[in-house]
Amino acid sequence: MSLVQKFATVGGATTISRIVGFVREALIGAALGAGPMADAFYAAFRFPNLFRRLFAEGAFNSAFIPLFAKELEGGGHEAAKKFSEQVLSVLTAWLLLLSGVAIILMPLLTRWIIAPGFADDPDKLNMTVLMTQIMFPYLLCMSLVAMLSGMLNSMRRYFLAAFVPILLNAGMIGALAISLTMGMDERQTGLLLSWGVILSGFAQLGWLYWAVRREGFPMRLRRPSLTPDVKKLLILMGPAMLTGGAMQINVLVGQIIASAQEGAIALLNYADRINQLPLGIIGIAVGVVLLPELSRALKAGDHDDAQHLQNRSLEFALGLTLPAAVGFILFAGPLVNIVYERGAFTPETTALTASALAAFATGLPAYVLIKVFSPAYFARLDMKSPMWFSMIAVVVNIVASIILFPFFGHVGIAAATSIASWVNFGLLAIVLWQRGDFRPSPTTLRRVAMIVLASVVMGAVVLGLDAALSSFVRNPSLGVRALTVFGIIGVAAIVYFIIVIVTGAIDREELMGALRRRRGAKAARKAEVAPLEQ
């Protein structure tokens, strides 16, 4: 399977989850709008999510995957199994302790860290505390899910680990369906959503444990012990924690500042949900596949292959992210209207959300390119350099948020996040270049130039069609609006891909090969899922 096919496997599974996620967000928007309960729920949900991405997806995976891959390649199945059981035991014990302490201290954490701006509204503050306490064990589930996903990815089993997040969306949609059917009020809806989150976490954990067991890793809990291998993991996790969580820290900082503006947290979340579609599909696909592949190449001493992997990842990431960013910036209003504007989500809310989306989108390429360049450090077990770059980015984000928020409100916070991401990416790329660990090939440079050209032309097409079809884009009928908006997106996409294919910005031979092997890839995915259905 080629690198692009591996990206497509993860991206395809993530796409399904993200599409279902849009359904979830549209239902939340219809049920809660951008009012106090929406603010409270998103503030509560973001806190355990911050820790999940900080400890699990960020720090843990960055440190665990190279070490597990090393054990699997060097020591074999039994060595890898022993290492994973040691890590599982220590991780479970530590997370249980953290969760217990956090739940007890949640009133203080909410008042001083999660949403200090809620202090003037006791009901809103108390609901945030209660929902955060309900959802915080989600951290335990997702940290263990991250470990199991890392094991599957190291064994090149990418699809299942990328697919399980759909269970979170399914659980929340189920809760919303019950709420809307039974006519629950906003408070009851928020609590039901919180229980849907935690139940989905246990469902994801159970599914992936079964998948790992089917791969020959029937792990059991041992007495927690800080063995040399576990200590090495923890040492590597320290710097990686700040590296992988920089964006999440930026989001938390933005939330703290935004809590001073009524509805701002919900507006930023709605905008970020759309922005996360390409970031999730492309960024996650690159990050999931590139780290284990680079780790294997470097362990084998194949530096040419490592350069090839990075060049192809750069082309793939920009080829899909740049046109998405242009579309979000130029066409934000119609997109937000189609996705959210119904029920409690008013035209005014649409305009405010669209402004935030455009600001977020200016940093979209940087968000994804960070996923391309960070694995080059992690695969070489250099966790400290990305850590320092991330800390610099966090400082930039805080300063920019404080400066921009008084003038631009929630849009300033989104813009500050984008600025910080470009700073982070720039530092990663410059140092890799200086060390000689990455050199874009002439072919890659030419392809990137053609991608930029195609994106500019595509943007002009979007603006022209939006102006020409303005009456249809803003038609009172949702069906007419949706048909027009998706038609414009389709035409713009066709124009973009014609240009990149004709100019060679996309490898035509690999594209045709991937299309020819599409049926085979589908059959392989079905075979991978089949054992879990038995």
| Position 436 pLDDT exceeds 70 | yes
Roughly how many angstroms between the first and final C-alpha of the chain, as a whole number?
26
| Position 118 pLDDT exceeds 70 | yes
Measure Cα distances from 43 to 123, 325, 374 in Å: 14, 26, 28
d(CA 461, CA 496): 10
Among candidate residues 362, 313, 283, 322, the one with its CA nearest the CA of residue 453: 322
The confidence score (pLDDT) of residue 300 equals 65
| Position 220 pLDDT exceeds 70 | yes
Task: Quickly tell me which residue has 């217990």 as its tokens.
Answer: 100
d(CA 326, CA 451): 12
**Secondary element (H or E) of residue 499:** helix 478-502
What is the mean predicted confidence (pLDDT) over 401-417? 90
What is the mean predicted confidence (pLDDT) over 416-436? 91
Q: Residue 23 — pLDDT band, cuts 50, 70, 90?
A: confident
d(CA 72, CA 87): 15
Residues 437 and 381 sit within 8 Å (Cβ to Cβ): no
Task: Quickly tell me which residue has 């249980």 as its tokens.
Answer: 96
What DSSP letter does each residue of 337-387 carry, written as one string? Answer: HHHH-STT--HHHHHHHHHHHHHHHTTHHHHHHHHHHHHHHHTTT--HHHH
Amino acid at 123: D
C-alpha angle 106-108-114 in degrees, rounded to nearest 5: 75
What is the mean predicted confidence (pLDDT) over 177-206? 90
CB atoms within 10 A of CB 223: 7
d(CA 232, CA 237): 9
What is the mean predicted confidence (pLDDT) over 508-531? 49
Q: Residue 6 — pLDDT band, cuts 50, 70, 90?
A: low
What is the mean predicted confidence (pLDDT) over 266-278? 83
Q: Residue 532 — pLDDT band, cuts 50, 70, 90?
A: very low
Residues 311 and 29 sit within 8 Å (Cβ to Cβ): no
CB atoms within 10 A of CB 175: 26
Range ranked top by mean pLDDT from 14-23, 364-373, 375-384: 364-373
pTM higher than 0.75, yes or no? Answer: no
d(CA 54, CA 63): 12
What is the mean predicted confidence (pLDDT) over 307-320? 82
In tens, the pLDDT along 65-107 reads 778 877 776 777 888 888 888 988 998 998 899 889 989 999 9
Q: Which two tokens stand for residue 256?
A: 């703290």
Measure Cα distances from 426 to 98, 259, 313, 422 in Å: 35, 30, 17, 6
What is the mean predicted confidence (pLDDT) over 421-448? 89
Q: Which of 130-134, 276-280, 518-522 has the lowest mean pLDDT?
A: 518-522
| Position 291 pLDDT exceeds 70 | no
The confidence score (pLDDT) of residue 521 equals 44
Residues 196 and 135 sit within 8 Å (Cβ to Cβ): no
Question: Which residues, including other chains, have CB under 8 Å from residue 498's CB and lie 6 or more apart?
Answer: none
Range ranked top by mean pLDDT from 8-22, 430-444, 505-519: 430-444
Residues 461 and 326 sit within 8 Å (Cβ to Cβ): no
Q: Which residue has the higher pLDDT, 285 or 216?
A: 216
Please state, for a pLDDT cut of 90, what percent of the chain lies above it: 25
Q: Which of 9-18, 182-191, 427-436 has the lowest mean pLDDT?
A: 9-18
Task: Quickly tell me which residue has 């820290």 as its tokens.
Answer: 249
The confidence score (pLDDT) of residue 53 equals 64
Q: Which of 138-152, 254-268, 295-309, 392-406 has the lowest mean pLDDT?
A: 295-309
The confidence score (pLDDT) of residue 506 equals 75
| Position 483 pLDDT exceeds 80 | yes
| Position 244 pLDDT exceeds 70 | no
Range ranked top by mean pLDDT from 142-146, 281-285, 483-487: 483-487
Q: Residue 514 — pLDDT band, cuts 50, 70, 90?
A: very low
Task: Quickly tell me which residue has 């108390």 as its tokens.
Answer: 126
The confidence score (pLDDT) of residue 491 equals 95
**Local structure of residue 74 (DSSP, 8 states):** I
Residues 274 and 93 sit within 8 Å (Cβ to Cβ): no
What are φ and ψ of residue 157, in 5° steps? Answer: -105, 85
C-alpha angle 97-245-228 in degrees, rounded to nearest 5: 55
d(CA 473, CA 496): 21
CB atoms within 10 A of CB 303: 12
The confidence score (pLDDT) of residue 104 equals 93
| Position 531 pLDDT exceeds 50 | no
The confidence score (pLDDT) of residue 299 equals 66
| Position 426 pLDDT exceeds 90 | yes
The confidence score (pLDDT) of residue 241 equals 67
| Position 141 pLDDT exceeds 70 | yes
Residues 364 and 275 sit within 8 Å (Cβ to Cβ): yes
Q: Residue 489 — pLDDT band, cuts 50, 70, 90?
A: very high
The confidence score (pLDDT) of residue 361 equals 94
The confidence score (pLDDT) of residue 207 equals 92
Among candidate residues 170, 147, 171, the one with its CA nearest the CA of residue 52: 147
CB atoms within 10 A of CB 57: 23
What is the mean predicted confidence (pLDDT) over 319-332? 91
Query: What is the residue-averaged pLDDT of the chain?
Result: 81
| Position 487 pLDDT exceeds 80 | yes
d(CA 48, CA 442): 44
Among candidate residues 236, 250, 249, the one with its CA nearest the CA of residue 377: 236
